[in-house]
Amino acid sequence: ADSGCNNSLTTSLVPISPYEILLSLQSQSLDGHLSLKDNEGAAKDFGNIHHFPPLAVLHPKTVSDISRTVKYIFEKGSDSEVKIAARGHGHSFQGQAQAHQGLVISMESLRSSEMKIQTGEFPFVDVSAGELWINILHETLQYGLAPKSWTDYLHLTVGGTLSNAGISGQAFRHGPQINNIFQLEVVT
C-alpha cells in the first residue's frame, strides 16, 4: 500500500562547474565586488614561476564578504572543485596566492583609510589582513609605537606574513610576528 509519503532524497549527480558556481556568486549581496574578467594580475606573484589565471577575483570590503562567499561555495558541495586562494600583495614564490580556474580573494581591498591605534599601558593596533606593514609602521611611529617584530621587507600584508608566522631577524628576540598578535579574525 502507498502511504503517500516520499522520504527519498534527490541529489544531482552532475557536478556544477567552477565557472557556473563563480558566475552564480554575482547574485550574492556583497559590500565589495566580484570580478569575472581582466583578472590576469591575480595570476602573477613575486616568484614569477607559476601563472595560474583565476576565473574570478573577489574584492571584499568586509570580512563578511569573505565569509559569505566561502560559505556559498562550500554549500555547492565538495564536488564543486572551486579552488580559493587569499592574495595579499602578491609576494609568494610558488603560486600559493593563485587559484587556477578558481577564486582569488584580494585581501588588500579590505584596507581602510584609518587604523585603530590604542595607546596606553597595553598599546595595540587593529588592522585588516590586507594592510601593509610599512603603513602600520608609519602610523604607529606617530604615537611613539612600532610593531614588536616585523619581517625584513615591509611591503607585505599582515595576513600574508602571519599565514607564514612572520619570521624575521627580530624573531630571536621578540618571537615571530604571530607570537605578538592579540587577536585574529579567521574565516574557515
187, part of any domain: no
The predicted model gives 162-173 an average pLDDT of 87
Q: How far is residue 92's CA from residue 161's CA, in Å, rounded to a whole number?
A: 10
| 101-127 confidence digits (pLDDT tens) | 899 999 999 988 888 999 999 999 999
Helix locations, the chain, DSSP H: 18-24, 63-75, 133-141, 158-162, 171-174
C-alpha cell at 159: 595576513
Residue pair 151/133 in contact by the 8 Å Cβ criterion:
yes
143 shares its domain with 63:
no
Q: How far is residue 15's CA from residue 165's CA, in Å, rounded to a whole number?
A: 37
Residue-number span of the structural domain to which 73 is assigned: 18-109
| 3-43 confidence digits (pLDDT tens) | 454 444 445 556 678 888 888 888 889 999 999 998 888 99
81 shares its domain with 23:
yes
